[in-house]
Structure 1
Amino acid sequence: MKNEMETKPEQRMKDGTFIPIKKSDFTKKSTEHKLLNVTAIALDKLVPCANHPFLTYKGERLEKLATSISISGLINPIAVRPHTNGSYEILSGHNRVEAVKLLGQDTINAIVMEGVSDQEAERIVIESNINQQSFADWNYSQQIRVIKIYNKYIQDNSQQGKRRDLADNATCVHSEHKLADKHPRPKTRDKISKQLGISSTVFERYRSIAKLDDKILDRLCEMLDERRLGFMAAYRLSQLKQGEISAVLDFIKDNPDTKLKGSTAKLLYDKSQDSTDKELTKESIQELYITTI
């Protein structure tokens, strides 16, 4: 069975810009974090990453991983960072921990990573999963949670980019070089979308959905996973006013046989844009549904 892939911590240039993390080994040296030797850690000292957005293995899949470990041993140690009261937070290896528990073991080999920030921890969790599976393998809830985390990095890099551009402009003026002669830097958005294996356009649609209020987003993700609406329909809904999104979701919930198509969501969006001073009501949504059946 294929062993779980591992990744090294987040890489950044000196100016703080994002560099996609590539498949690698946690035991390689890092200029940002002090990596300790592999050590055995008691399983009862481990806690899952607080913002772990992925579902862990269950049933047969977990049993297969446990069988692989029982035959070949734990080839790749997990990665953790110091937590509170002598415990350790898992950064990479949640499934390996569960598999070792299934085997009845008390400890697991781990690399302890010092000085890892919360943001870096989130990135390590995401990257280790990206290297095990493709973005398309995850359900919508997992995909959107990941995009929501990446949104924070894009915002951070946007601020850093503005400062860097000001510095570049000053340098160019001083040296009499023209900015037009410089090759444009790839945007953080483009780097991330390439790493996820999706186009920049699709990535922006995911971002539009991920920016929704948490309560609405949870409801929307649930309906996406249940296939009560499609991705394009969800994207169109994300462009509506918050009250309108809630009204549409309420309508779908109250009508179990109803599914929201992308074309219908587009009509809802157009109607919302035509009446900027008023929000769509449940009645107007129902009327539009009837006319598109």
Structure 2
Amino acid sequence: MRKPTKEIQLTSYDELLGINESESSAQGKVVEVPLDELHSFKNHPFQVNDDEEMDDLVESIRQHGVLNPGIVRPRPEGGYEIISGHRRKRGSELAGLSTLPVLIQEYSDDEAVIIMVNANIQRENILPSEKAFAYKMKMEALRHQGMKDSKGEDTAELVGKKAGDSGRKVQRYIRLTELLPELLERVDQKKLNFISAVSLSYLTKEEQEWVVQCITEKRVSISGKAAEELKKYSAEKKLTRLAVELALCKEKKESRKLSFSEERVNRYFPAEYSKEQMEEVICRLLEEWSKNEIPSK
């Protein structure tokens, strides 16, 4: 492992990261470290995308350099693990730089997690999935430390304090980590609302698979009412693939507000058919029609 070479002045932002000033000055200095010696934090929950925001960061780095140094810790196998600075590293790569200014510190796993989350959680445009896994990691780290603040707030309250979220909101975000990736992606894409997603997180993985298949094949959306109904049936061990399909298909059918005269309905259905059976048949026909599987006449 090569030694860092060039020392530069630290721009103070310790308060944001929760680092004690005397502790930081005693433990390390800001130095330039080669980019190929910097490695991502294990299970880093925040995405680093080559998007418009990255383009802005690259342009800023080209004009002014990296204004705030990253924070890293030494790795037993060599090099350094990035605690804060993943986007700055990528921006430096795209700007053609070979090093990144960093503060090298010795942190335990739990300390590193807390600082990593605190450094990122107040960023704009954080995805629900990012916040969910970040809160989960910070929750586990704080529990390992047995931490409570001076006001006696519980761990969930402490986790959300930096971002201004209540303990209850934190718990709901953490529930999202129980979703299948396909459902969590829909939350990020705003195709599935937050409250509905939290309800679906209580379904088993197999039950969630049924939901994914239904919304993909039937092209239905999930309302809070439907998600809560699925959660209820799951808790009662009564949820089946058919029940998922009926609940979501019913939502779509009702949203269309279709109505048929009794005379017209009786023309196409046997007399022994119940209202529920007729509704189910109509629902299935509408789904097939919407996929152009049957001609419209």
Q: Same fold (TM over 0.5)?
A: yes
- Partner residue of 1:286 out of 245, 250, 256: 245
Aligned with 1:123 (options 114, 123, 148): 114
- CA RMSD after TM alignment: 2.9
Q: Equivalent residue for 1:271? A: 233
| Runs of 5+ consecutive residues of structure 2 not aligned to the other structure | 1-10, 255-297
What residue in structure 2 maps to residue 93 of structure 1? 85
Cα deviation for residue 81 of structure 1 reads: 0.8
Correspondence for 1:251 among 214, 226, 234: 214
Contact 2:196 2:228 in 1 (8 A): yes
Residue 71 of structure 2 corresponds to residue 79 of structure 1: yes
Higher relative CO (Cα under 8 Å, sequence separation at least 6) belongs to: 1
Matched, 1:23 2:16: yes
**Letter paired with 1:139:** L
Q: Secondary structure at the match of 2:23?
A: coil
Task: Establish whether residue 233 from structure 1 lines up as the match of residue 233 from structure 2.
Answer: no
* CA distance in 2 between partners of 1:25 and 1:75 (Å): 19
Q: Which AA in structure 1 matches 2:22?
A: K
Aligned mate of 1:38, from 30, 41, 58: 30
Question: 1:84 Cα deviation (Å)?
Answer: 4.0
2:8 counterpart residue number: none
Which residue of structure 2 lines up, in the alignment, with residue 150 of structure 1?
138
Contact 2:129–2:188 (8 Å) recurs in 1: yes
Change (3 A) 1:73 1:34: same
| Contact map agreement 1:70 1:103 (CA 8 A) in 2 | yes
Cα deviation for residue 50 of structure 1 reads 1.7
Amino acid at match of 2:249: I
Q: Give the direction of change, closer, same or farther, for the CA distance of 1:25–1:74 in structure 2 (3 Å limit).
A: farther
- Match for residue 129 of structure 2? 141
Q: CA, structure 1 residues 252+154, in 2 after alignment: closer, same or farther (shift >3 Å)?
A: farther
Q: 1:24 to 1:249 in 2, by over 3 A?
A: closer
Structure-to-structure mapping, 1:81-230, within 5 angstroms? 81-114=73-106, 116-131=107-122, 133-134=123-124, 137-153=125-141, 155-156=143-144, 185-210=152-177, 212=178, 216-230=179-193
Matched with 2:294 is none
TM-score (norm 1): 0.71
Deviations 1:147-183 (A, max 9, x none): 22133135436x667xxxxxxxxxxxxxxxxxxxxx9
Q: Distance in 1 between matches of 2:96 and 2:42?
A: 25
- Distance in 1 of aligned mates of 2:133 and 2:65: 32
Which whole-Å CA distance do the structure 1 matches of 2:232 and 2:49 have between them?
A: 42
Give the C-alpha shift of residue 53 in structure 1.
1.0
Answer yes or no: is the 8 Å Cα contact 1:223–1:229 preserved in 2. yes
Q: Is the 8 A contact 2:221 2:248 kept in 1?
A: no
AA matched with 2:166:
S
Q: Tell me how far 1:112 sits from its aligned partner.
A: 0.9
Q: Which moved more, 1:87-96 or 1:55-64?
A: 55-64
Q: How many angstroms does 1:87 deviate by?
A: 0.9
Aligned length: 241
Give the TM-score normalised by the residue count of structure 2.
0.70
Runs of 4 or more, structure 1, over 6 Å off, are none
